Amino acid sequence: MGAELTDLDFIRRVRGICGQKNVLTGTADLEFFGSDRTRLATPAPLAVAFPGTTEQVVDLVRLAASAGRSVVPSGGRTGLSGGAMALRGELVIAMDRMNTIKAFDAINQSVVCQAGVVTAQLQAYARDRGLFYPVDFAASGSSQIGGNIATNAGGIRVIRYGMTRQWVSGVKLVTGGGDVLDLNRGLTKNNTGYDLRHLVVGSEGTLGIVVEATMQLTTSPPPSSVVCLALAKLDAVMEVSRAFKASSSLSAFEFFSEAAMKAVVASGETRPFDTIAPFYVLLELDADTESRVDAAFNCFERCVREAWVMDGVISQSGEQAARLWRLREGISEALAPLQPYKNDLSVTPSQVPVFLAEVEEVCRSHYPDFSLVWYGHIGDGNLHLNVLKPEQLTAAAFHERCNEANEKIYQIVQSLGGSVSAEHGVGLLKRGALARTSTPPELAILRHIKSAFDPSGIMNPGKIMPTIPDS
């Protein structure tokens, strides 16, 4: 009987669960909550529901399953792979109202928080208690913990602290069948078979909806310095990385090209020095003792002597450190008006120079009108390739050529044993490329896992695995 519900009857039932004011159907609301930052297509969900409790999420999922309606979970919508897009009349379940930090355990250094807690909110909560939540990235002010878990968010301090996965000690999930799984429950040791929690991390809402999580915190980091260096050639990046890793304790090692620097400076930031170079690196390192500060200066001087570094600056204050970080963290926003096509790729750090050189050569040979802007977390092998749209191309023609170029770029990734998505996820954007770095048996297992968690196939359809046909 449920499968015969009309759109109006279905929406009426959704309002009965969440309350009249917590269900939106206006065109502007549907476009806003049915999309993320990729803007791949015009969103077209049926409605947006804002549950306030886990029980309401369960009721919504069970209603959708009984009515044969698909569901798209929505967090901060900061994703870059189309993972939060609703294009075919789905019910968007937005977690914005479930935004409470419910418990704090000082002994275990953990918090229990609802999925709608914003990343920066958790960071501030930890800081107020003398602790630290280390997963950080440019969108931390609007991304939500549930979305961080669903995408296994990374960011700028992965080389020391790892991805979101390392900080999830428990997760509560409403499956596609409407069951509530309370996975691992915050335990440090729990050796009782398959750890389903880790299947949920990075699943992009295809297995269910994260409603609550136990997140680990750590001790506050020591005082740090930020170093920005100008490099004459790409090969020097690895030499600089090796030198600073041997002499300092690094929490970040970032990279960007002169094209990225130009974009950030044009947006209002100031160059850190007069020297203009092809490439730049930004490092954050511990500076809590005089010996560590001396070691950083000595390493900088050595890099200059070896001709790896053309120029550089080491922060002398927190304000200066923040200004240097803005050079890196402001790149994505600075590029947005230029309509870049974004690619998020990874290889092992030692292969970065070879990978970048091969991609540059492919684009020079086949796409000479493409302007490439590189930046990324080079300390962990993650590069963000941004292609700027030539003025003479329409948006559609540009995307078609980028998709064509991707085939050549993904071949390079595959030959180096890398990944077609380092941290942004698969979503809609890269589901067709998954076979480049996953074998047929692996893909078959992914399908079986999806079916076990989501027997009706209603959860975030078309993401990761193409569960619905393309239109």
Report yes or no: 357 and 234 within 8 Å, Cβ to Cβ: yes
CATH 3.30.465.10 range(s) for the chain read 101-219
pLDDT at 466: 53
Torsion of CA 99, 103, 105, 106, to 10 degrees: 70
Tell me the residue type at 266. Answer: A
The per-residue pLDDT for range 228-237, each reduced to its tens digit, is 999 989 889 9
CATH pick for 2-97 out of 3.40.50.150, 3.90.1010.10, 3.30.43.10, 3.30.160.60: 3.30.43.10
Q: How far apart are the first and last CA of the chain?
A: 28
In this structure, what token pair is assigned to residue 418? 């890398």
pLDDT at 309: 97
CATH 3.30.70.2190 range(s) for the chain read 224-332
Place of tokens 């429950």: 185
- Long-range pairs for 348-354: beta carbons < 8 A, 24 or more residues apart: 348/381, 348/416, 348/417, 348/418, 349/238, 349/241, 349/378, 349/379, 349/380, 349/381, 350/238, 351/381, 351/416, 351/418, 352/237, 352/238, 352/378, 352/381, 352/383, 353/234, 353/235, 353/237, 353/238, 354/416
The per-residue pLDDT for range 243-270, each reduced to its tens digit, is 999 999 999 999 999 999 999 999 999 9
CATH 3.30.43.10 range(s) for the chain read 2-97
| Fold (topology level) of 339-434 | Alpha-Beta Plaits (3.30.70)
CATH code reported for the domain at 224-332: 3.30.70.2190
Q: Which residues contact 131 (CB under 8 A, 6 or more apart)?
A: 109, 217, 218, 219, 220
The per-residue pLDDT for range 137-194, each reduced to its tens digit, is 888 999 999 999 999 999 889 999 999 999 999 999 999 999 999 999 999 999 999 9
CA atoms within 13 A on the CB side of 12: 6
- Number of CB atoms found within 10 A of residue 122's CB: 23
In this structure, what token pair is assigned to residue 211? 């409603």
Could you tell me how many residues make up the chain?
471
pLDDT at 165: 97
Q: Using the CB atoms, write b or e for 44-80: b if 16+ within 10 Å.
A: ebbbbbbbbebebbbbbbbbbbebebbbbbbbbbbbb
pLDDT at 430: 85
| Fold (topology level) of 101-219 | 3.30.465
Q: Distance between alpha carbon 308 and the CA centroid of its chain, in Å?
A: 31
Which residues of the chain fall short of a pLDDT of 50? 1-3, 467-471
